[in-house]
Chains A and B, each alone.
Chain A
């Protein structure tokens, strides 16, 4: 019986780690949402093979459940040094390479209620900025901009 309990605990721990990727990652920068209900933490901005992956953790800091929504077409980053702006990548079917996404949104957005104190992660793929750019500003509607974010390559 003891062995079974141990096995269950191990499975729970391992399962949790794989179920919620990125939850334990450290925040690069944290910004509030403009309605004050959420705290957004940038937990990843890394370039790999010409693709920039941005990961953001959203935590409901209000005392009640609140709706979080992100429309991927409105998300972009600016490379101020080169005066360029980049939008999220789309696949061959015109769907944004980002997640999570709502069914029926045709790959365009996510909308869900987050309980008080609970959190969720969104991620978005962008074309990488040129090698000459070290920092970018990430703009997500409803959240204060993440400014001068150092790119990891």
Chain B
């Protein structure tokens, strides 16, 4: 019996070690640990009545976020930026179409560094216009299956949203994303003779950003 108890003890010790291995590097071992709970409660007290709340507005967003958005160190006018991006005014929306090949590598949804300048411009426009609702749509060409393209287009739209939220410091904006896959081409993916139309497919690989006017 003594050996059984010893065995249990050693096994528990081993798992305790494993547990420590998982969180050993933490200053606070777990969220429910007494030391953690007390430290958190004390921290809230120290913050005072407003609990460290920071008002979300455009002025403070520049100060507390990732820093003011500047393009090449100089301010840009919204009209100029819209012109640069070939934005269209459609009904009550400002529509900006971005090439998928500029934003992403083939078959990927991680934003390419080369696309960041363009996205900074878009962030600036949204901020300057003080818009609260922005729709981001992802589109692909017809290569690949419908379901794959649908997923890829959604992931790409989501990536643009994450970039604008994080690097564009637009956390006060409500972004909606929608992946349409290959269902909404702007050009034909094939030529009249049925052969491949690379230029058409290129135009179809895109992300559209729609800002309510």
Contacts and interface: CB of A to CB of B under 8 A. Distances in A.
Contact of A4 (B7, B56, B158, B171): B7
B15 A19 contact: yes
Contact of A128 (B4, B12, B44, B158): B44
Contact of B11 (A8, A127, A145): A8
Contacts of B37: 48-49, 51
Interface stretch (B28-36, B76-84, B119-127): B28-36
Contacts of A103: 25
A15 B17 CA distance: 10
A44 B163 CA distance: 25
8 contacts: A11-B7, A11-B11, A50-B51, A83-B56, A91-B43, A99-B26, A99-B28, A144-B161
A89 interface: yes
Interface of B: 3-4, 7-8, 11-12, 14-16, 18-19, 22-23, 25-32, 36-37, 39-44, 46-47, 51-57, 64, 109-111, 155, 158-159, 161-163, 165-166, 171-172
B4 A3 contact: yes
Q: How large is the interface on A (under 10, 10 to 19, 20 to 34, 35 or more residues)?
A: 35 or more
A14 B55 CA distance: 46
Nearest to B15: A15
Interface of A: 3-4, 7-8, 10-12, 14-16, 18-21, 32, 34-36, 48-51, 53, 55, 76, 78-80, 82-87, 89-92, 95, 97-103, 107, 110, 120, 123, 125, 127-128, 137, 139, 141-145
Contacts of B44: 50-51, 89, 127-128
A100 B25 contact: yes
Contacts of B162: 34, 142-145
A98 B18 CA distance: 20
B36 A97 contact: yes
A98 B28 contact: yes
Given A78-B56, A84-B53, A125-B31, A145 B22 contact: no
